[in-house]
Chain A
Amino acid sequence: MSSFLLVIAIFIALLTAASMYRVAVGRTIFDRIIAAGLVGTNGFILLVLIGFIFGRISMFVDLAIAYALLNFVIIIVLGKYFDRKLEEP
């Protein structure tokens, strides 16, 4: 079961690395924000998986709770900040 969790964690890490392309390249600023939110969500799933792999679940779950709350707050604040007319490039 531990090797299955390791395979799942490596696959999710590869998906997260592929999603970083949209953070780096993305057409508009909103694409980058959405992709950063996806990277954050994959990040705390990966944290819980790492806690199961290392056998220290109680510590890593608390870290994952903090990451989830911060991820939500960051996206809401950026959404309020960019809620205006963009200047023409």
Chain B
Amino acid sequence: MPVQTIVAIVLMLGGVFFLAVSSIGLLRLPDFYARTHAVGKSETLGAILTLSGLAVYNGWELSTFKILFILIFVLLANPTATHAISRAALRSGLPPWTRKKKDNIEDKS
């Protein structure tokens, strides 16, 4: 098995791990602001690792540069979109989750 394929497999396994962390965080974290933490960072890193693994596996072609364009675009756009949504949520008055308040206890899920 060539070195290129082994590097691609390692990168894609790491990327799938971070995608799994992102989905579990989206399902299990208690609050909207905590879920943005899962989506904004783990999802970006998982997408970058998976796409770079595919680019390494593909070799030097035109499709590789298109995959690298998608990768750079995800790196710029995904945290920007998450930040825009969380700014809109904060300005629209969604309260952050705290452990101490009595009236937020039934709100966690």
CB-CB under 8 A from B86, the residues of chain A are 30
| A41 CB, min distance to chain B CBs, angstroms | 6
Chain B interface size, under 10 / 10 to 19 / 20 to 34 / 35 or more: 35 or more
A86 with B54: CB separation less than 8 A:
no
B85 with A30: CB separation less than 8 A:
yes
A33 with B85: CB separation less than 8 A:
yes
- Closest residue of chain B to A49, judged by CB? B54
Known: A34-B36, A48-B54. A27 touches B63 (CB 8 A): no
Bound-state Cα–Cα, A60 to B78, Å:
21
- Closest residue of chain B to A86, judged by CB? B92
Report the number of A-B residue pairs with Cβ-Cβ less than 8 Å.
133
- Closest residue of chain B to A16, judged by CB? B23
Chain A interface size, under 10 / 10 to 19 / 20 to 34 / 35 or more: 35 or more
CB-CB under 8 A from A64, the residues of chain B are 70
B84 with A75: CB separation less than 8 A:
yes
CB-CB under 8 A from B89, the residues of chain A are 28, 30, 82
B26 with A22: CB separation less than 8 A:
yes
CB-CB under 8 A from A22, the residues of chain B are 26-27, 35
Known: A37-B81, A61-B70. 9 other contacts (CB 8 A): A1-B57, A4-B12, A22-B26, A38-B39, A48-B67, A72-B80, A76-B84, A79-B87, A83-B87
Tell me the A residues contacting B by CB distance below 8 Å. 1, 4, 8, 11-12, 15-16, 18-19, 21-22, 27-28, 30-31, 33-35, 37-38, 41-42, 44-45, 48-49, 52, 57-58, 61-62, 64-65, 68-69, 71-72, 75-76, 78-80, 82-86
